[in-house]
Amino acid sequence: AVSDVIASVISVKGARFPIVLLYFVNMIYYVLLVFKPMVFCYYVCSLSKLPVGKISYKGGIILSFPFIAAVAVMLSSPWSKAVFYITENHEFFYGELRPVMFYTTVSYLIMSAIVVFTRKNKFRKVMKYSIFVYIDKSVSNILSVILPCER
């Protein structure tokens, strides 16, 4: 939440800041956007006593792959303009691959929901509800960003 506010304020008042700082802050925002659901997915897996919850080498790599791929695409943005880019006039624009960041987030939330549904006897009732509240909140946030709006 803090990274959202900082990235928004710096992007809106971009002319006051160096372009390098604008890229840095936005990169942190996008990394955290994908990192939080990945950590949540690891947490759900560990609660369900799945072997990947112990971060086994093979399971950890498989579960981390969407995060690694999304971050790699995002890190290329200063050159490729894939996720976002900033002009010489300090104007912020979304790149063609920006939705990849949100699809990655959704994939972790879907994986978490699948774990909860398929291993429901491993979770207490209250824990299941709290997990779905997090998933529901995250999906609604993502939809508000993905759906078209006026700029």
pLDDT in tens, 27-64: 988 888 888 888 888 888 877 777 664 555 566 677 88
pLDDT in tens, 81-114: 999 999 988 888 889 998 888 888 888 888 888 8
Q: What are the beta bridge partners of residue 94?
A: 84
The span from the CA of 145 to the CA of 138, in Å, is 11
Mean per-residue pLDDT for 113-139? Answer: 70
**DSSP per position, 103-114:** HHHHHHHHHHHH
Amino acid at 89: N
pTM, whole model, 2 decimals? 0.73
Question: Please, how many CA atoms are within 13 Å of residue 51, restricted to the half-sphere of its CB?
Answer: 6
The span from the CA of 34 to the CA of 118, in Å, is 24
Tokens 């995060």 identify what position?
67
Q: Could you tell me the two tokens for 55?
A: 């971060």
The span from the CA of 100 to the CA of 98, in Å, is 5
- 10 Å CB burial of residue 7 (0-12, 13-18, 19+) is buried
- 10 Å CB burial of residue 96 (0-12, 13-18, 19+) is exposed
